[in-house]
Amino acid sequence: MGLPFIVLNYKTYLQGTGQGAVEIAKACKAVSEESGIEIAVAPQLPDIYRVASEVELPVFSQHLDGIGAGSFTGHVFGKSIKEAGAVGTLINHSEKRLTLAEIEASLKAAKEFGLRSIICTNNVPTTAAAAALGPDYVAIEPPELIGSGIPVSKADPEVVSGSVEAVAKIDPRVKVLCGAGISKGEDLRAALDLGSQGVLLASGIVKAADPKAALEDLIRLV
């Protein structure tokens, strides 16, 4: 197996807002260059342009609506985030849930604008359903473990391995990430040993006193 893919979701954490978004991205870029591991960041929408302009690393949107140009006040338009510098998007994060029809429409918009797609899911059946839509990645994140500091890869290994198995049967081209409570080297190692190809994480790095040191700890057992 190759190197993992790490996606850092800033959510609306203060530390990852405005100039903080740029500083954390710089830490991610430094660790990515040292290690060769691809690290992407998902700042808040208004920070996408500033992060993408100042730091050369993959920037994802936290959300994308399945709409086109026109009368869609307050929506997130694929062309807009692409032009702001995003190369991909989260879809259906647990904190920004969508209906199945909306997920499909968001994914279609991501594909239309050449954006990489990560559909977030909460259990094995939803992971299987998401994989059937054909995104680049699914990210399994049990909501009860999000922000808990209890790693999914240790607290609920079956949901990770079950997702990996389900996706392999449905569409082996879809890659599986896992997330919730991941922050340390052993959490990432356990996630990879369960067959996932990377992690989607947030608080353990964004809220760390030293995000670069936290990232270095995260990847130390890869």
* Binding residues vs ligand G3P (CB under 6 A): 9, 93, 141, 146-147, 179-182, 200-204
Q: Count CB-CB contacts under 10 A for residue 122.
A: 18
**Choice between 147 and 185, CB closer to ligand G3P:** 147
| From 54, 104, 141, 186, the catalytic residue | 141
| From 23, 54, 93, 102, the catalytic residue | 93
- 202 assigned ligand-binding residue: yes
Catalytic site residue 141?
A: yes
Structure tokens at 154: 């240790």
- 70 assigned ligand-binding residue: no
- 66 assigned ligand-binding residue: no
Q: CA 24 to CA 15: how far, in whole Å?
A: 8
**Minimum Å distance from CB 160 to ligand G3P?**
14
Which among 20, 37, 29, 36 has a CA at the least distance from the CA of 59?
29
- 146 assigned ligand-binding residue: yes
SS3 216: helix
Q: Count CB-CB contacts under 10 A for residue 81.
A: 27
Catalytic site residue 75?
A: no
**Minimum Å distance from CB 91 to ligand G3P?**
12
**Choice between 152 and 164, CB closer to ligand G3P:** 152
**Minimum Å distance from CB 64 to ligand G3P?**
15
Strand spans (E) along the chain: 5-9, 38-42, 60-61, 88-91, 116-121, 137-140, 175-179, 198-201
Q: Which residues are catalytic?
A: 93, 141
